[in-house]
Structure 1
Amino acid sequence: MIGSFFILMSQEKLESPDDVRSYLYAEKLGGLLVEEYKQKDSLEEASRSVLERTEIPTEVRLEVLNEEGIVLFDNFGLREGEKVDVMEMAQLFVLSKENEPLEERMNYHIVPLIIEGKEIGLFILSYPVTIILEPLYRNMVVTFLIALFSALVVFLLLALFLSQWLLRPLQEMVTATEKIAGGDYESRLTIQSGDELGRLATAFNEMTEKLYQSRKREKELEQLRRDLVANVSHDLRTPLASIRGYVEGLLDGMADDAEKRKRYLQVIYDKALILQRLIHDLFELSRLERGILAMEKVKVPASEMLQELAEKYSHDAELVGITFQVEIEPHLPTLFVDPIRVEQVLTNLLQNAFRHASAVTLRATLEEQKIKISVEDNGEGIASSQLPYIFDRFYSGEKSRSRQRNGTGLGLAISKEIVSAHDGTIWAESEVGKGSTFSFFLPVYR
């Protein structure tokens, strides 16, 4: 656009009567010659007078010929007095010769000198073609430089934009990576684009989320390990301390009669059984969690199996004065389970219920190709804030039902793993002051 402006300006200048390259300029000088001729009555004197009053570039040649073709005036002084023939006059109209180099070519403007309708001579203005080309070359150079500068500015602006567009996300990634290296796994990228950087940011966030979850799980496992060590240490230390105390009493002769010694030995025996159960439960839970405890699954009629187990628990409830109700739907479908492990789950749930309630109900129903087995009691209930944790090993909540009255604190955790090994789910519902319901699903055999 700027280059076109300069070229148009040059064209307008070539059409100006004040530009020596313009034909209008030649006509203006011709008019001055005619006016001067009227006063001096001599073309030669008129020419010299006009030349003195006019600034003519040194490379511009002015020639004045009379009607006979004789050169009366030549500011270069090369052909004054010579006669120009018709053929040479015609040659003056040719802009350039093909065999001449560009710097030797001439451009001509020929103006007839006419007074009162009579031609008294010719005025010839000639100049090298380079006079026209040099401004064009300058304009071209200026245009090229301006275009080059404009392109350079555009390139720099584009480079700045691209650098910001590319480097900002990369810098954000570097910052996020440094944060992750420093242990901050919650750092995320906010790049939202559909290009490769956007896909890279999405993959980066997914990787970071996995790292965060993995690290979170590691912390949870580490906390569980510490809790396990602390709980096991506590649960081992308590009976061991009791055993040690009674053994020291025996050694010191505090049990001086047979009845007292028998009572001491019975306490020692009971504490040893607690230690044995604790170690057994820990070992069994570890094998369940690792999936290496084999389940000896067989096809079992659900109603018959549950009725047989209910009869066993009815006797236990009667011994401790618990009202025990059984509501098992008849003709329940067949289950593919390990009966001993299912009995272990029910034993854990019912023993907990017997310790905390005066009335317990065992129910079994069919729901969407799953058998739902529930143990409901009217005990003190469990706070809702503790329900998510009661199936954790050694859970030591204030209302924990699995750690009272000589429990190991592992029964519910073991029950959860056994149910999971049968592709089932177990959960608890409770309301403080109204009781609790522990339920689990077992899929029907197909």
Structure 2
Amino acid sequence: MKKFFQSLLAKYMLIIFMALFLIQISFLVIGLFVLGLAENIEDSKDNSRDYGVIEEKWHTEAAQIEDASIDQIKQHFEKWKHEYSEASMFWVNESGILTEALDVTEEIPTEWTSAFTAKFIKDRYGGEPFTVIAFVGNEEKDGFIVLELPREVFQPPIQKLYDRYGNLLSIGILLIISLFIIVSFLFFWQIRKRLLSLQDAMTTRDVVGMPTQIKVKKNDEIGQLEQTFNEMVKELRESKHREQEEEQLRKELIANLSHDLRTPLTKIRSQTYSLGREVLTTGGKQSLKSIENSVVDMDRLIENLMSYTLLMASKYKYELKEIDVVRYIRECLASWYPAFEREGFEIEIYLKSFSSNQWRIDPFWLSRIIDNLLQNILRHARSGKYVAVKTESTSQYDAIVIMDRGKGMQYKSSKKGAGVGLSIVDMMVQEMDLVWEIDSGKNGTTIKIKKFK
């Protein structure tokens, strides 16, 4: 239950309940206020504001006035004015002369003709203001008196209150709704801010490339997510540390193993040299040659393994120099001619100059790349009996092209070690800002080492 009350769901439900409570309280207060005003208005009334009652009363009291005089009419008007403060009244005598008027705002003629009287009655019938015309006295010989009241006087008290305070009521409701919207916005804005902070922590990396932990401030759902994220970061750091320790151990093992293997290989070479000076049968000589070849292959594999380990640890030193790459390739190929001729390979060399033969590279690394690629051809593409080294130049790049007619890299050779050799080539090429491409099929393999212009 404690976890539920700390959750975002509980907090938002609390916001909703508070909003509903405020709305109910507001309506209750407004209702009581309106009801109190309405009761005060009703209590303050000493008469009924009904069209029929007022009209009948006006006619009755007008008929009771005998031998009308100005004083009598004034008293009559003042009495009604006391009861109906909004009223306006005037008296037109038997001669059609406007004799007395009280609070009449519009202009009315001082002499009334029959035609104007008829028109006045027609205009006022059912219109604004409410108008009652009554003859003075029973004999109707003293003219007529007119009572005018604004029709809003006859509105119910609730309607009057709405007309007077309706805008205030609407503003109050809008304020409550706006308050709820603002509180909800702040609630979700805080959630969004915390989620964005968590996202930043996920994408930010420290000096070792690991995500950074985030400070957990609350124990709600997002806080639990932040805690889980921190635990994940901790596990990643521990895993990274274990991986680094294992990597270091592996590198040390490979280095020690490479060193330890070279010692017996040196001894084997010495023994094969001694045996070569002895008188051997033809079969013995062939066995000795096979042993020598195996020793050479083993030595090259150890060298590749050592180089690969140093490259992975970024400890294989290199020095960039401006060299004539075409000339340097010719020098590298010179040492490989005897090996390919001994195996019966067809050799084609087409080394034409580039627009600029100067490449900024490490000569030893380039030599190592060429050696590894040619060694792979000699060991794994022997069936094709063909090797070609060319230069290729386009508007985008200059390239060194090495080709064979073997069975392709998808073919599994009985010889081992090609994978490590190509991995070394890949790392060296990338380190010298070169690009290489391999196109291998059943009819042979083409490798291009490119330098973009």
Q: Report the TM-score, using the length of structure 2 for normalisation.
A: 0.48
Q: Report the TM-score, using the length of structure 1 for normalisation.
A: 0.49
